[in-house]
A and B are shown apart, each in its own frame.
Chain A
Amino acid sequence: ELKVEQNPLFLSMQEGKNYTIYCNYSTTSDRLYWYRQDPGKSLESLFVLLSNGAVKQEGRLMASLDTKARLSTLHITAAVHDLSATYFCAVETSGSRLTFGEGTQLTVNP
């Protein structure tokens, strides 16, 4: 059974600081997603990582994938309040099925 573990589960940051969210998974996969969810809202796709060593950046967020270590990271640079949300990683397996991590609830304080 595939397991996807995120840490930390809760993250409180000050504006302007940097931090990294980790996503570990237990089986081979070549496709990993990062999603953002605001309270009461659906999921917004942030990144799709397709291969080992993939790195993608959008604004203050950067995601990377190490398929050999079965690890993905979401790095936040100079956090701002608007980044406050819950972030999920999800690993794709056969049949395009997604297994989600527990989610990281990020709060950015002024």
Chain B
Amino acid sequence: SAVISQKPSRDICQRGTSLTIQCQVDSQVTMMFWYRQQPGQSLTLIATANQGSEATYESGFVIDKFPISRPNLTFSTLTVSNMSPEDSSIYLCSVCSVASSGRYEQYFGPGTRLTVT
């Protein structure tokens, strides 16, 4: 299984500013994903980040608002730009990795809790 870390674990930001969230994996993975969990809600996929190509965004999410970098096979960043209170959420990265069973599974990082005031 993959071990995923995220920085920062939480932050409080002022509206209009931007925050970059880092995701680090302990092994090389092809696909990384960024999800958002709004307060009391389920998870929604923001984008898929593959190394060496542009991120693929889901409907309702755009690159100008959520630029993503994927410089190598173990690291990715998500920036939340020009923040508003509606961006207050938990942001989670996830990866596909091979489990002890031999099959691949999807694992989630600990999340970044963002509050925008």
Chain A residues engaging chain B, CB cutoff 8 angstroms: 33, 35, 40-43, 45, 48, 50, 88, 90, 92, 95-103
B96 within 8 A of A: yes
A95-B48, A96-B96 are known contacts. Are A42 and B108 too (CB-CB below 8 A)?
yes
Expressed in whole angstroms, the Cα–Cα distance for A18 and B96 within the complex equals: 33
Which among B43, B103, B111 is the interface contact of A100 at CB below 8 angstroms?
B43
CB contacts between A and B, total, < 8 Å: 53
- The complex places the Cα of A95 from the Cα of B45 at a distance, in Å, of 12
Contact A97 to B48, CB < 8 A, known contacts A42-B109, A43-B92: yes
Give 17 new A-B contacts, CB below 8 A, not counting A101-B42, A102-B41: A33-B105, A33-B106, A35-B108, A40-B113, A41-B110, A43-B92, A48-B99, A95-B31, A96-B96, A96-B106, A97-B33, A98-B33, A98-B43, A98-B45, A98-B94, A99-B45, A102-B42
B residues in contact with A33, CB < 8 Å: 105-106
Given contacts A97-B45, A100-B42, A102-B42, contact A45 B103 (CB under 8 A): no
* Chain B positions near chain A (C-beta within 8 angstroms): 31, 33, 35, 41-45, 48, 56, 58, 92, 94, 96, 99, 103, 105-111, 113
- Please indicate the chain B residues that have their CB under 8 angstroms from the CB of A42 in the complex: 92, 108-111
Minimal beta-carbon separation of B77 from chain A (angstroms): 18
Q: How far is the CB of A23 from chain B (nearest CB, A)?
A: 12
By the criterion CB–CB under 8 Å, are B48 and A43 in contact? no
Partner of A45, one of B31, B107, B109, B113: B107
Q: For the complex, give the distance between the alpha carbons of A97 and B49 in Å.
A: 11
Measured in the bound complex, the distance between the Cα atoms of B58 and A98 in whole Å is 11
Q: For the complex, give the distance between the alpha carbons of A52 and B107 in Å.
A: 23
